Amino acid sequence: MLRSALLSAARSPMLRSAAEHSALARPVVNRFVAGTDLDRALTVARELAADRLVSVDYLGENTEDRAQADAATEVYLALLDRLGAGGLADRVEVSIKLSALGQALPGEGAALATDNAARICARAEAVGTTVTVDMEDHTTTDTTLDTVRALRGDWPGTGAVLQAYLRRTEADCAALAGPGSRVRLCKGAYDEPASVAFRERAEVDESYRRCLRVLMGGQGYPMVATHDPALIEHASALAAQTGRLPDRFEFQMLYGVRPDAQRDLAAAGHRVRVYLPYGSAWFPYFMRRLGERPANVMFFLRSVTSRH
């Protein structure tokens, strides 16, 4: 119930406006979001890149007109130029949400988002890095995977994201486990109906294991996005069973979540990539992080109450 309430709040324009203009929330949000401007994000990315890999996400989703979609695209182009100029492109990629690039706009949405994503992929290739296309709620899964397939025609290194809590995902993993295919497997952070998604934690965990088995047994490059110690151990065991060396898969974790575990995995010789969001439109992302894990809610409440 708490998770559903938090995810419902994430969709509230009134709550979003109040939170994003609140001075009180900012210090708490800073645990999960690397500031609101590009300079700060690049500073954090450089610090993380000393021992880990990074995927930078410019926060924003569900754009309402073409101008917003084009503006988001320009931000990514500028971000990529800065990564190239700053010598970070070999360790830092970008993650994009198609809804931020216009996917949901009437009529032209899918084509517009694909065109904008293509511009970003072309710039990423020019500076020497890659792009991963984030997955959003289940109503966009087919359209998003269509876009990924289209982008891979010119940029085969484009990453896809699959969510283990969706009932369809094991089949999607099999379809995307081909040579060179970069696939980020996460649990999923949206409030989906039982008709399309597993709702119980044990079911989601078991689905994650099944999906991971498919990816590890395939010919692609699995990106294991989880903070769960049991699943991390399971992934390491599967990699050993399938003969995968440490350079043939990676672990991914969110900025601000289990940073000590991130450093420990990197020190042990694993590839670890940190998902690093930045920007002023942080509210939906932050609420989904609270909804994923009750400990995040307690951290937030303690931080707020300690400031009174």
Distance set, CA 45 to CA 28, 38, 161 (Å): 19, 10, 21
Contact between 182 and 224 under an 8 Å Cβ cutoff? The reply is no
93-107, 250-264, 288-302: which range is least confident on average? 288-302
Contact between 163 and 136 under an 8 Å Cβ cutoff? The reply is no
Is the per-residue pLDDT at 290 higher than 90? no
CA dihedral over 272, 47, 289, 142, signed as positive or negative: negative
The rounded percent of the chain whose pLDDT value lies above 70 is 85
In which element (H, E) is residue 27 found? helix 26-29
Q: Are strands 159-163 and 272-278 parallel, antiparallel or unpaired?
A: unpaired
Tell me the pLDDT of the chain averaged across its residues. Answer: 90
Contact between 11 and 199 under an 8 Å Cβ cutoff? The reply is no
Is the per-residue pLDDT at 284 higher than 90? no
Distance set, CA 281 to CA 7, 35, 288 (Å): 16, 11, 13
Mean pLDDT, to the nearest integer, of 221-234? 97
**Annotation says 201 is catalytic:** no
pLDDT in tens, 94-104: 999 999 999 99
**Annotation says 184 is catalytic:** yes
Q: Which of 123, 184, 273, 289 is catalytic?
A: 184
Contact between 35 and 41 under an 8 Å Cβ cutoff? The reply is yes
Tokens matching residue 3: 């998770």
Confidence at residue 299, expressed as pLDDT on a 0 to 100 scale:
53
CB contact set of 35 (below 8 Å; sequence gap of 6+): 41, 44, 278
For residues 158 and 221, give the distance between their C-alpha atoms in angstroms, rounded to a whole number: 11
pTM of the full structure: 0.89
Confidence at residue 282, expressed as pLDDT on a 0 to 100 scale:
78
Distance set, CA 75 to CA 5, 69, 91, 298 (Å): 32, 10, 19, 34
Q: Which of 134, 172, 191, 205 is catalytic?
A: 134
Tokens matching residue 291: 């909804």
For residues 277 and 40, give the distance between their C-alpha atoms in angstroms, rounded to a whole number: 11
pLDDT in tens, 8-33: 555 666 666 666 666 656 666 788 89
For residues 192 and 208, give the distance between their C-alpha atoms in angstroms, rounded to a whole number: 16
DSSP collapsed to 3 states, 69-100: HHHHHHHHHHHHHHHHHCCCCCCEEEEECHHH
Confidence at residue 78, expressed as pLDDT on a 0 to 100 scale:
98
Confidence at residue 279, expressed as pLDDT on a 0 to 100 scale:
92
